[in-house]
Structure 1
Amino acid sequence: MSIVYRVGPYWRGYGGIKSIIVFGDSYSHVGYHSQAPPPTSARPLGVASPGLTVNEPGYPNWVGHLITAHTHGQSNILVYDYAVRGDTAPGVSRQITEQFLPTVGRRPRYTQSRGEIAGILATLFAAQEQLYGAGARNFLFVDVPPIHRSPIGTQPGLTDYFTPFAIWNEELRRAVAAFAASHADVTAMVYSSWATFSRVLDNPAAYGFNPQDVRVQGGSIWFDHIHPTTRLASIVADEIAHFLAAQAPTA
């Protein structure tokens, strides 16, 4: 029989549950993994419902039923289901240590991303110090493009998922500014791929692209869900070249 051994101070009741973390085997498997986009209200399993269940094709397992037919009035429960068909206890341990803890287990919730990014940049610029010590003096940094405008960004509810990229660009600039201020003999520049991609996506026809392709995977702009085509990469390269050429030499 079911037994309740203790109800702790953080239990908010079933109606207060916002997310569920699942580890296990084929009974719980839906095909989600840590490299997939996080669950959203539109895709509460992180994959198209009911997921790749190990029962009748196209029908939910217990996880899917729990968040759809047995919610007791609760709605919008998000599920992080790391279960893998065929896994036993050692596999569950691996799900925890390799899938959950390095990602959601770190509570990125993307509200803490600025602090995490600061740590990553500290490591990155420690490496720049090593380059400087080895004699490097000219540094060009490239920020990240607007990932939320790629085909993957069409998935609903992923705004928070892409927020860290904008924060990264802000923090990168601060880090480069600090690096330049502390090294009087370096050239330190940031080329903005964010700006280039944004201009192209705002006015694709001006760059020879089909306006209908701004969110199309496999179209003239995007090779796949997130990577640009060679034509867009060529525009990036051209703008980098112009950017560098515009900086008058001092040596």
Structure 2
Amino acid sequence: MPRVHACSSFCLGQCLPGAATSTSSLKTTTSVPTTSKTSTTLTTKVSSTSTSTTKSPTSTAAVEYFITFGDSYSQTGFDPTLTQPAAGNPLGNPNLQGYTTTGGFNWIGYLVESYNNTLMLSYNFAYGGATTNASLVAPFASTVLSFIDQVDQFVKYNPSGPWSSSNTLFGIWMGVNDVGNSYYLPNYTTLLGQIMDSYFAEIQRLYNVGGRNFLFLTVPPTQDSPLFVGQGTAVQASLATAISQYNAALVSRIASFKAANAGSNTWVYDTQTPFLNAIDNPTAYGAADATCINADGVSCLWWNDYHPSQIVHKLVAQGVASLLKGVFW
């Protein structure tokens, strides 16, 4: 099986376009689309018990903080040693849209620029091609910053500004490369457990330095990307099964983390839903079909054969904003 990366052949370090409080219950969305091509919906569901409908006095402060980790589905090219996020550019650097794999804003950019109802500053440590732990699943190059490396970077450059446990949301969208680079291995089930151990060791580190609000995004249906559609239905089905296993394990581990860490607030956003809504109804979103590719980022569902366009990222952002309405959005 070929190795794939949420980064693809244009990666240069990061993926740059154009280059070859009180304890509360687990809050989660596990909505499942009614139709799909090869759906990998969650098999483990944790019901929501959130009752928050308005922002707390703390979260209505002038500034909120969104600290994120991930791969090229999330990267904006942020360098913590350069210009810091501010009202004029909530992403800080390199520019307002950032270096993304969408041809414009990605889901993080939309959340802090279009869907925020107060000033939200983004500290985005996501790095193109990232896996959770490079010793478990190797990235495309040794220079890629894994989730472990990204947390190391955050801890080293602890963002300037008055971020606190109550006014800060930590967002994690990992797994696309972990699954894409290992789904075909005979020891995938064992490896998945090791990946989750490593993943939640990093979540624990974030909790230990003050993180209390955690947003987790599941792995989307990348088996329906043009790259995998071209490899045939058997490969698609194999990847879909592995994604489903990953997402179920993620939800289970989140529940365990929540139970073990007082004051932690957790939300799960199932990215299967926005992806499949677009894939099953491409013309409703202005695309000719479910697999067309266009680097303009707005006329097709895919920016390249493995990276969704602004259309899909906007749907992800809308879903996250809806999930956290009255809390951070």
TM-score, normalised via structure 2 length: 0.41
For 2:247, the equivalent position in structure 1 comes to: 169
Equivalent residue pairs, number: 150
**Alpha-carbon distance in 1 for matches of 2:198, 2:258:** 17
Q: How does 1:192-207 map to 2 (within 5 A)?
A: 192-206=270-284
**Alpha-carbon distance in 1 for matches of 2:286, 2:186:** 36
For 2:219, the equivalent position in structure 1 comes to: 144
Q: Label 1:248 to 1:217 Cα distance change in 2 as closer, same or farther (>3 A).
A: closer
Q: CA deviation at 1:191?
A: 0.7
8 Å Cα contact 2:274/2:312 also seen in 1: no
Give the residue type in structure 1 aligned to 2:314.
S
**Alpha-carbon distance in 2 for matches of 1:204, 1:171:** 30
Q: Which ranges in structure 2 are unaligned for 5 or more consecutive residues?
A: 6-137, 140-177
Q: CA deviation at 1:232?
A: 1.8
Post-superposition, which runs of at least 4 consecutive aligned residues in structure 1 deviate over 6 A?
none
Give the residue type in structure 2 aligned to 1:182.
A
For 1:209, the equivalent position in structure 2 comes to: 286
Whichever of the two has the greater Rg, that structure is: 1
Q: CA RMSD in A?
A: 3.1
Q: Which ranges in structure 1 are unaligned for 5 or more consecutive residues?
A: 1-32, 38-97
**Alpha-carbon distance in 2 for matches of 1:177, 1:127:** 16
Q: How does 1:236-247 map to 2 (within 5 A)?
A: 236-245=316-325
8 Å Cα contact 1:145/1:194 also seen in 2: yes
Question: More helix per residue: 1 or 2?
Answer: 1
For 2:314, the equivalent position in structure 1 comes to: 234
Give the residue type in structure 2 aligned to 1:217.
I
Give the 3-state SS of the residue equivalent to 2:201 in structure 1.
Answer: helix
TM-score, normalised via structure 1 length: 0.52
Render the CA deviation track for 1:169-222: whole Å, top value 9, x for unaligned: 11101111111111231101111111211122122344x233x32022335101
Q: Label 1:239 to 1:36 Cα distance change in 2 as closer, same or farther (>3 A).
A: closer
Q: Label 1:36 to 1:149 Cα distance change in 2 as closer, same or farther (>3 A).
A: closer
Q: Label 1:145 to 1:109 Cα distance change in 2 as closer, same or farther (>3 A).
A: closer
Q: Label 1:125 to 1:36 Cα distance change in 2 as closer, same or farther (>3 A).
A: closer
**Alpha-carbon distance in 2 for matches of 1:145, 1:224:** 16
Q: How does 1:183-194 map to 2 (within 5 A)?
A: 183-194=261-272
Give the 3-state SS of the residue equivalent to 1:190 in structure 2.
Answer: strand
**Alpha-carbon distance in 2 for matches of 1:246, 1:110:** 43
Structure having greater relative contact order (Cα 8 Å, sep ≥ 6): 2
For 2:304, the equivalent position in structure 1 comes to: 224
**Alpha-carbon distance in 2 for matches of 1:107, 1:222:** 23
Q: How does 1:1-251 map to 2 (within 5 A)?
A: 35=3, 109-154=184-229, 155-156=231-232, 157-158=234-235, 159-206=237-284, 208-210=285-287, 212-218=288-294, 220-245=300-325
Q: Label 1:168 to 1:36 Cα distance change in 2 as closer, same or farther (>3 A).
A: closer
Render the CA deviation track for 1:63-88: whole Å, top value 9, x for unaligned: xxxxxxxxxxxxxxxxxxxxxxxxxx
**Alpha-carbon distance in 2 for matches of 1:148, 1:125:** 25
